[in-house]
Amino acid sequence: MSDFTSGFWSYYISAIALVGIVWCAWLLLSQRRIAKPPAAGAAVDDTGHVWDGDLRELNNPLPRWWMWMFLLSCVFALAYLVLYPGLGTYGGVLGFSSQGELAAQRQAAEARQHAIYAKYMKMDVKGVAADPEAREIGQRLFLNYCAQCHGSDARGSRGFPNLTDTDWLYGGDPDTIRQTITKGRNGMMPSFAAAVDGKLAGDVAQYVRSLSGLSYDPIRASRGENTFKTTCAACHGASGKGNQALGAPNLSDNVWLYGSSEGTIVEAILKGHEGHMPAHEEILTPERIQMLTAYVWGLSNTDGASK
């Protein structure tokens, strides 16, 4: 009901609910038959409906027990609408809401889990990552909240970073990982279509490929080097090693978030890229963020996590 901008709809829904109940009761009472059952041997009225030659629909009065049950169901419906939500924006005498019930269940579950998480909150991330039980908890949290983008194996996909290697856009230390999970990230590779034409973008792509040891055209790469240093080095550095303070990727290794072909690099130069890592501080408790931080850190620090 919170989506409605007019109070009319609240009254409209309330009227439909109440009129429907009253109409059902009226229909039953108006159609009931008070006549006594026919005497033995007397003819029984029928509705005139006949099937299969001799199967007739009789017009006997409704059983009283059935009629009273129907009327009681109408009374129950009215009582329900008084106690619980159902009449537009009216919240009911009991003040029940599915949102409130969910919040209560969540609080109860978090209270039960507090004892489990308490000991891990006293440990540093590296210690948590080394605990087998903690890793199992972290893995379940990862599968619930992170696998949709990074994959169930955490190796990512096009546009979503691999969390199992040592290549980090913003840094892979525990504090940075916790910050990323809690506050999220907004990465932006701006479009340079206004400053670099398509042919020159291809030359820059050849130079970028040379930085990471990929096959490249030396002549074209030399033409693109100056443009890279005047246009791209501000974020990626003169040697293309990136800048974790900005989330600018390292272009001199063999890790590519969107691909390393000339066409893919040209597309990035001319159209740019925008990456969004949502904040989870409104979704996860500090305890769960601690467990998830330890699990993600342990994915690329298997030696440290196993000690």
- The pLDDT tens digits for 266-282 are 999 999 999 999 999 99
* Mean pLDDT of the 115-122 span: 88
pTM exceeds 0.75: no
Question: Does 142 or 60 have the greater pLDDT score?
Answer: 142
Helix (H, G, I), strand (E, B) or coil at 58: strand
What pLDDT score does 82 carry? Answer: 93
Beta bridge partners of 186: 276
Residue 49 scores a pLDDT above 90: no
Is the separation of the CB atoms in 250 and 240 below 8 Å?
Answer: yes
What pLDDT score does 307 carry? Answer: 46
Compute the distance between CA of residue 250 and CA of residue 147 in angstroms, rounded to an integer: 24
As a whole number of Å, the end-to-end CA separation of the chain is: 54
* Mean pLDDT of the 25-45 span: 70
Look at residues 288, 305, 299, 300 and name the one whose alpha carbon lies nearest to residue 178. 288
